[in-house]
Structures are given as structure tokens and as C-alpha cells.
Amino acid sequence: MPTGSGVLVVGEVDASGAPRPISWEVLAAAKSVAGVAGGGVTALLMGSGIADAARAWGSAGADRVLTADAPEFAGLLPAVAAAAVTEAIQRTNPAVVLMPGTTSGRDYAPLVAARLKAGLAADCVELHEADGTLTATRPVLGGRALTRVTFPDSQPAMITIRAGSFAKAGPGATSPEVEPFVVTLAPDDLRVSMVELAAKGAVGSRLDSAAVVVSGGRGLKEPANFALVEELAESLGGAVGATRAVVDAGWRPHHEQIGQTGRTVSPRLYVAVGVSGAVQHNVGMQGSEQIVAINRDPDAPIFKIASFGIVGDLFEVVPALTAAIRDARS
């Protein structure tokens, strides 16, 4: 087991200042390793104007909450975020460091590992403790296999958590003190500044937090037929997603792409319309609570992970399903 004591958990906030869903998962993951790590759980939240968010998020399991609260931390630019996390590790000396496997986390986590000359287990889906040894499980080969990673005693165990891998912790479990965390930023950390944040689309921006996601694949045959997906999503109050093949073909914008090279989602309900179920796509949505697949091919791989499958022509099934949902809700 690495030297040091306790767990350092890094959280992130969204554009509205609320903790991202993955932040609650990372706190839940901390509980599973607190025994082997010894000590308590320290939570670090970075952003601007985040005091209330830090208090609510930290109560989901942290013993202590540090807030790097300054305009420089809005948007989590990699160099600035890496500086904060590195300094937090140096001050708290944790045995385990857990970070979100978000777009931002994938940028700053390797920087932190390089600065500390430590290894990094990225995109982990499970954590195991046995005989005082911590093991992290992560997918490899495009999700076709899983590998287990152990950590040297001389370094903190640095891990990023894939969204949808852990149940979300709930607030109110602890009453931690919230402490300002002043970070010393070097000139090199400030070479890049954020000028503006602009949403790429109201629908796409909801994917991370949507309770329902309806995703379309090549089975829709042409871009105009995505209207079927949009109408079904609207009837369910959900967001629209797409496969990589659809995005690469220019049918949908990249911010709607779900999969290994796109977004990772874990809604309560995921509806896959005309999606074959390639491994690259499945790793981005297999954490969904319920998966409904609609495909005319009974041997489509998507049915292997689906909770409920409909074998049929999507051009008949989807309009009928949308109409039935609208009738039921009216």
C-alpha cells in the first residue's frame, strides 16, 4: 500500500456552479478505499463562487473540504487545476488520490502524475481492497478486456474514475469543515486564460445530467431521420445522443457523441435506436440503470447489454412508441 494516509478526492462543478454528477461518484468511491488508505477523506473542490456547492458536496462523505475558490479556477484549465491538485497532495500526503474521469480530469490528472513522478491508473471502473492492497480495474483494448493495476509503496495511488462506475453518494452523511485553500500559481500556470464559456447546444449540454438519453445510430439511414430520435427524447423529457459513426458522417455534432472518444453517460434510462452496439459505444453508456435497444437485427451486440430489447423496424417501432408515451402522459 502506498505511503501516506487517507484519501484525497477531487471534485468538479459545472457551468452553473453545481457539483458534476461524477463528483458524487468519486466521493462514493472514496468510501470503498478509506479502510485500506487509513485516515479520513479530504475533498478538494475547484471553481469560482463554490462555497455552497462545496458544503453540500462534501457532506456526502468527506471529513474535510478544501475550496480552491478563485476566478482562475473557473473552467478548470489544465495547468491551473494541476497546480491546485499537486499542492493539495503535497500538503495532505494522502495514500490515495481519486479524480473524475471527465474531459478536464483527463487533462490535469496526467500533469499531476508527471509532476509528482507517480503512476496513474486512468478511467477505472472498480476498486478492490484485499489484504491491505489496493487494486484498480480499468478497461483496455477499447473496452474488450479489463486489467487490474496495483500501486508502488513509494507513491500515492492516483486514480481517475469513469463516470457511471459507482453509485452516487448522497449529501448529509457528514458535516465537514469547509476551508479556503489558497494555491500558489506560477506564471507558467497562467499562460492560458479562459475568455468565455459557450454552450455547444442546449440538448447536447444536458447529456451529463439527463435522467433519460435517447441515442441514434447508423440504422437511421440518413440525418433527416434523427427527427424520430428527437421526438422520442422529447416525449420522455430526455436528451439526444449519437454514435461515433453518425458523428463522423456529419449527421450530428460531436458534443452529442457517446462512447470511448465521446461522452460517458449513466442515465436512469438509455434508449438505443438503430445502434448496433460496438464496444467503442457501449463503454460510454453501459453504466446506465436501464438500457432499451431497438434494432431489426436480433444478433446485434447491443442486445447483450440491454435490459429490454425490441427486435423490429425502428421506422415502425419508434413512432408508435412515441405516440404511446405522449398518449399516456396526456
- 165 and 267 assigned to the same domain: no
- 161 and 237 assigned to the same domain: no
pLDDT at 2: 59
Is 91 part of a structural domain of the chain? yes
Of the candidates 214, 217, 316, the residue with the CA atom closest to the CA atom of residue 274: 217
CATH number, position 251: 3.40.50.1220
- 224 and 182 assigned to the same domain: no
Cell of 212: 433519460
Q: How far apart are CA 227 and CA 120, in angstroms?
A: 42
Is 80 part of a structural domain of the chain? yes
Three-state SS at 36: helix
Pairing mode of beta strands 7-11, 290-295? unpaired
Q: How far apart are CA 58 and CA 77, in angstroms?
A: 22
Q: For residue 187, give every residue at least 6 positions away whose Cβ sits within 8 Å of its Cβ, in sequence order, or none.
A: none
- Other C-beta atoms closer than 10 Å to the C-beta of 163 total 23
CA 129-4-1 angle, 5° bins: 30
As a residue count, the chain comes to: 330
Which position has the higher pLDDT, 168 or 89?
A: 89
Beta bridge partners of 120: 158
Q: What is the pLDDT of residues 34-84, one digit of tens each?
A: 777 778 999 999 999 999 999 999 999 999 999 999 999 988 899 999 999
- 170 and 250 assigned to the same domain: no
Start-to-end CA span in the chain (Å): 58
Is 2 part of a structural domain of the chain? no
Q: What is the pLDDT of residues 176-225, one digit of tens each?
A: 989 999 998 889 888 888 787 666 554 445 787 789 999 999 999 999 99
Our count of domains for the chain comes to 2
Domain that holds residue 154: 7-190
Is 75 part of a structural domain of the chain? yes
